[in-house]
Every structure is written in C-alpha cells, then in structure tokens.
Structure 1
Amino acid sequence: MGNKDFTSSISANISAEEATKRISNVPGWWGVTVTGSSEKKNDTFTVKMTGDSFFNFTVEELIPGKRVVWLVTDCYMPWYSDKTEWTNTRLIFDLAEKNGATELNFKHQGLTPDIECYKDCESGWTHWISTSLLSYLTTGKGSFRPPTK
C-alpha cells in the first residue's frame, strides 16, 4: 500500500470539453492566487497558498475532453520537513463523457501514504476534488475552505 497514489473520482452533468476548461481555471475551484496560465500544453503557472508557500506547475498534457496533466516543477511547503515534497509529482485529470455526463478520475501521482504530507494532502484533495471542483463543474461556483496547513 505504501506506493499507492492518491485518487478521487467524481461525475458531473457537464460535457468533457467544458470540464477541461473549468479544470484549467484553477482559481474557480481551488480558491487560490494563481499567476501564469494553465490553458494549453507547456503553459506554466504558480499557485500561492498561505505565507511563502507556493507550487509551480507546467501543463504537461492537455487533450480537451480527455486529459489534463500538470507537473509540479517546484514547490515550497514550510510546514513539512521535506519542503519540496511535491516536486516532480503530477496532477492527472482523466475525463470520459458518457450520456451527457463526465466521469473525472483524478490522481496525484507521487502523493503516496509513505510521504509526510499524505494525511493532510489526502483530506485537502478529497475536499478540492469531491466538493469544490464538483461544485464548480455543476454550479459554476467552487466551494472554498482554508488550506489544511
């Protein structure tokens, strides 16, 4: 079990193309400060959390209606002993549309139970995918909460 990446799945009555656009609008569902762009392959963007924490991403793959992959190229999480624990991990959003609904399977590749932030990140991602992103996909409004740390 120690190497099992975090995953979460949701389904929404929205086209997969529209879901791709909404995933790429990071502030709409993550409720964070974002600089840069996340709308096409090779775009880069930075997510700022509390204090001096940050996450730099590169859009590694973007196939509208099918797949979005963000590579974490750098990060700083001051509340953990390994402050760059997410570096070289990937956020993967796989989409499949069927009968007017889109099934979204999310994986944080590299976020496994054997790393320090897993417990906090597991509850964080569960909220951001199952609550906030789902709300954004279905109502156009995310459901924000304070960061875990």
Structure 2
Amino acid sequence: MEKQDFTATILVDQSPNEAFNAITNVRGWWSEAIEGDTDILNAESVYHYRDIHYCKMKLIELIPDQKVAWLILDNYFKFTTDKSEWIGTKLVFDISKKGAQTAVTFTHEGLVPHYECYVICREAWTNYIKESLYKLITTGKGEPNPKENDGFNTKLAKKWKLEA
C-alpha cells in the first residue's frame, strides 16, 4: 500500500547546516508562541494557536544537518470531532544534498487523508514549509504565527484537560 502521510519538499541553495538551524528555530517559521526548547534532544515544547489548536511535542531525533523529528504527545483541535487526531504522529524533517542544493523533506507521519483535519492541516503545513520555512532558510526571515499579547494560555490547556 502506498504511504499516504502528508509530505512536502523544498529545495534551497543554502547548506544543510543552515536548513537544520532554521528547522530547529520553530519560532522563526511556525509560531512565535511555542513554549519550551525546540533544539535539545528529548526536550518537550508546546504549540498553540488561539483556542483552535494545541499540541505538546517531544524532540525525539536530532541529527545535525540531516534529520529532526518531533513526536506529538498531546493534541487538541477545536474544529474536529476527534480532538486528538495528531496524538502519536511525528513531524519529521529529512535534510539531504541534491547536487548543489539542499533538499528539505517534511513528512507528518500519521497525518493521512482520512483524518478530519487533513485538508486544513495539509494547507497549513504547505504554507509553513513551502513559504515560511523556505523564507527563513533563504532570507533569514520566516512568516510564523505572531505571539499573542498574553503568550501561552495555560488556562486553555487546563480547560481542554491537556497537560501544559
């Protein structure tokens, strides 16, 4: 059976090291509101977007200039029937040389078409990877979600009965 995990690839002129450093700087391309370390193996961090999406992740693979992977430990979506669709999935970045360029392949292992969030998540990931991360790697400035005035909202995490 063909793999159906969501994947997106970008090619850049920068080095694998520059791509690696940009990927682990998730506040520079995904969200300024991420709490916790995102560049230390086994560190946990929390992403949230208003009261719409919350996820807690753990950095499980960190191979300089080659691979970065997070495991989703906890998740909540306001807009899906199954609020926990991402739990147990992985966000994987593979970095490799392609001739004179660097390829960055993002795979959300476990994000498959039958998920209720798939269409929205596919569109969001496509933007974050092909626009924001691409710009961070190539220009030094991505387009992450801006940090909200109050920063991370632990009250929402408690409301959703999620670990903060």
Q: Provide TM-score, normalisation by structure 2.
A: 0.82
| Structural RMSD (CA) | 1.9
Runs (4+) off by over 4 Å: none
For residues 70-104 of structure 1, the C-alpha deviation after alignment (integer angstroms, 9 at most, x for no partner) is 10000111111111110100000000124552101
User: Which residue identity is paired with 2:139?
Assistant: T
The CA distance in 2 between the partners of 1:56 and 1:31, in whole Å, is 13
Find out whether 1:133 has 2:133 as its counterpart: yes
3-state DSSP class of the match of 1:87?
A: coil
Among all aligned residue pairs of Structure 1 and Structure 2, give the percentage whose two residues are the same amino acid: 38
The Cα of 1:40 is off from its aligned counterpart by: 2.1
Q: Which runs of 5+ in 2 are unaligned?
A: 147-164
Change (3 A) 1:26 1:145: closer
The CA distance in 2 between the partners of 1:20 and 1:93, in whole Å, is 9
3-state DSSP class of the match of 1:97?
A: strand
- 2:142 is aligned to 142
For residues 33-87 of structure 1, the C-alpha deviation after alignment (integer angstroms, 9 at most, x for no partner) is 1111011210111011112631101001000110001100001111111111101
Maintained 8 Å contact 1:15/1:100: no
How many residues in Structure 1 have an aligned counterpart in Structure 2? 146
The CA distance in 2 between the partners of 1:10 and 1:21, in whole Å, is 15
The CA distance in 2 between the partners of 1:16 and 1:2, in whole Å, is 28
- 1:37 is aligned to 37
Q: Which runs of 5+ in 1 are unaligned?
A: none
